[in-house]
Amino acid sequence: MTSPARPRLAGVDAETFQTLKGTVKRYVRERLVPLETEVEANDEVPAAVVKELKDLGLFGITIPAEYGGIGLSASQEVDLAVELGWTCPAFRGVFGTTIGIGSMGILIDGTEEQKQAFLPRLAAGELVSSFCLTEPGSGSDAASLQTSARKQGDHYVLNGTKRFITNARRANLLTVMARTDPGIKGAGGISAFLVDADSPGISFGKKDAKMGQRGTVTSDVIFEDVKVPASRIIGLKPGQGFKTAMKVLDRGRLHIGAVCVGTARRLIHEAMTYSGERKQFGAPIGSFQLVQAMLADSWTECYAAEAMLRDAAARFDQGQAIVIEAAAVKMYASEMVGRVADRAVQIFGGAGYMAAYPIERIYRDVRLVRIYEGTTQIQQLVIAREMRKGME
Ligand code: COS
């Protein structure tokens, strides 16, 4: 079901990685966790933290060293993302689109000139990037997108609206999927453009108010007669943009799976601590078997997701195509963390419903992961499609 797709990805040496991971783990737990209440209250990540994240090199973790990044393998990237999943999503969100969906299109399908032009600045955190696929009328059915790119001489003119775009208001560089061939209704008519966010004709909707994930920033992006040079089509190949987007999402789905594992670990940690302290019927509630069953189920499901994640990332590093594995990891890990969050609320009881404890926030935050970067139902379709290919 899998075939060679890319060169192998070696990543950095084990010692360098362990040092980086240790630093990130300490930073998350000692610096970021104490800021969670502030981020929730202000709906904003402090500017000092944004600078620290840059200084740590986190904007460049997925970009190869030859383009100025750290160049982690997928296995190392997910390992780090598990650590980042321990705290609220707003912190990872600051650089999440830059290391993932916002830059991977250039890395996967860009020309050498495009890589040289953008990747070093993205890795340094000088450029923040964002991925503009979703539209008001096209979410799961991404191939039906309507944003148009009309060719005029040596440039294109973009018109349309993108919706729920993470970090658009913070971005300097937008990867925009637009229809260059109106005669082709589906995927084949779409191209991926690298667009400067300050181009004349681009405006941004107001920051979306959301159920959770406070401190992350999403908004509409509106394109009105935006001129983009033809040289800004990723790979200089019109009609390939949908495939580029799908490849980008494959790796992105591994990353999301890793964040889910990290958040599930945090939930289990909180539930274990609370169930050891909270007494009812004269004993800590963690001594009761019905509570233990919830904890055991959560640990087991988290372990299963982690095993899938590490297997899929290792396959990616070996150069295999991981379309089916990435969809399975994203689906299982996001559903898993939803169940773990629900059990954590149950274990905390009334306190789990109160904003004074972190569980209530995490419960709301994780609801999104079953939806973004492809809903569970889309992952099911992808898995079934790939399974059927195997039968042919
Ligand atoms: N890697 C490379 N190519 C891929 C691919 C992948 N992972 N997935 C699809 N393709 C290619 C297909 O091989 C096909 O190529 P050909 O036309 O040469 O045969 C082309 O892309 C179209 O694929 P398909 O026919 O499967 O497209 P569909 O319109 O049926 O849509 C789904 C497929 C539904 C899976 C896709 O639209 C999707 O992933 N939707 C969810 C989008 C999403 O995740 N949005 C979240 C917001 S972005 S953060």
Say if ligand 1 is within 6 A of residue 366 CB.
no
**Hey, what amino acid is at 271?**
A
Say if ligand 1 is within 6 A of residue 377 CB.
no
Say if ligand 1 is within 6 A of residue 247 CB.
yes
CA–centroid distance, residue 141 to ligand 1 (Å): 9
Please tell me whether residue 158 adopts helix, strand or coil conformation.
strand
DSSP 8-state code for residue 232: G
Q: Which atom of ligand 1 is nearest to the CA of 381?
A: 35
CA–centroid distance, residue 64 to ligand 1 (Å): 26
CA–centroid distance, residue 148 to ligand 1 (Å): 19
Query: Taking Cα atoms as reference points, which of 317, 329, 315, 244 lies closest to residue 62?
Result: 317
Reported as half-sphere exposure (CB side, CA atoms, 13 A), residue 165 has a value of 32
Supply the DSSP string of 115-151, one letter for each residue.
Answer: HHHHHHHHHTTSS-EEEE--BTTBSS-GGG---EEEE
Q: Whose CA is nearest to atom 36 of ligand 1?
A: 142
pLDDT at 5: 62
Angle at 125 between CA 122 and CA 129, to 5 degrees: 50
Name residues of the chain where pLDDT drops below 70.
1-5, 390, 392
pLDDT at 392: 65
List domains and CATH numbers for the chain.
Answer: 14-127 (1.10.540.10), 130-239 (2.40.110.10), 245-391 (1.20.140.10)
Alpha helices in 318-349 (DSSP H): 323-348
Rounded CA-CA distance 256/328 in Å is 12
Q: Which atom of ligand 1 is nearest to the CA of 373?
A: 46
pLDDT at 2: 45
Structure tokens at 42: 């202000």
Strands 173-179 and 129-132: parallel
Say if ligand 1 is within 6 A of residue 134 CB.
yes
CA–centroid distance, residue 246 to ligand 1 (Å): 5
Mutate to test the pocket of ligand 1, among 132, 246, 383, 386 (most ligand atoms within 8 A of CB): 246
Say if ligand 1 is within 6 A of residue 25 CB.
no
Say if ligand 1 is within 6 A of residue 143 CB.
yes
Which residues does the annotation mark as catalytic? 373
Q: Who contacts 350 (Cβ-Cβ below 8 Å, separation ≥6)?
A: none
Residue 323 has φ and ψ, to the nearest 5°, of -55, -50
pLDDT at 102: 87
Q: Which residue has the tokens 């396959």?
A: 315
Say if ligand 1 is within 6 A of residue 187 CB.
yes
Say if ligand 1 is within 6 A of residue 245 CB.
no
Reported as half-sphere exposure (CB side, CA atoms, 13 A), residue 73 has a value of 22
pLDDT at 210: 96
DSSP 8-state code for residue 30: I
Question: CB neighbours (10 Å) of residue 210?
Answer: 16
Q: Which atom of ligand 1 is nearest to the CA of 186?
A: 29
Q: Whose CA is nearest to atom 49 of ligand 1?
A: 373
pLDDT digits 0-9 by tens, 2-51: 445 677 888 999 999 999 999 999 999 999 999 999 999 999 999 999 99
Angle at 274 between CA 342 and CA 277, to 5 degrees: 150
Q: Which atom of ligand 1 is nearest to the CA of 139?
A: 45
pLDDT at 300: 98
Rounded CA-CA distance 163/239 in Å is 22
Q: Integer distance in angstroms from the first to the last C-alpha of the chain?
A: 11
The H or E element that residue 391 is part of is: helix 376-391
Rounded CA-CA distance 331/374 in Å is 9
Rounded CA-CA distance 195/131 in Å is 10
Question: CB neighbours (10 Å) of residue 288?
Answer: 13
Q: Who contacts 202 (Cβ-Cβ below 8 Å, separation ≥6)?
A: 174, 195, 221, 222, 223, 224, 226
Angle at 176 between CA 381 and CA 386, to 5 degrees: 20
Q: Which atom of ligand 1 is nearest to the CA of 144?
A: 29
Structure tokens at 189: 């008519």
Asked whether the beta carbons of 357 and 285 are under 8 A apart, the reply is no
Q: How far is CA 9 from the centre of its chain?
A: 20
The residue count for the chain? 392
Say if ligand 1 is within 6 A of residue 246 CB.
yes
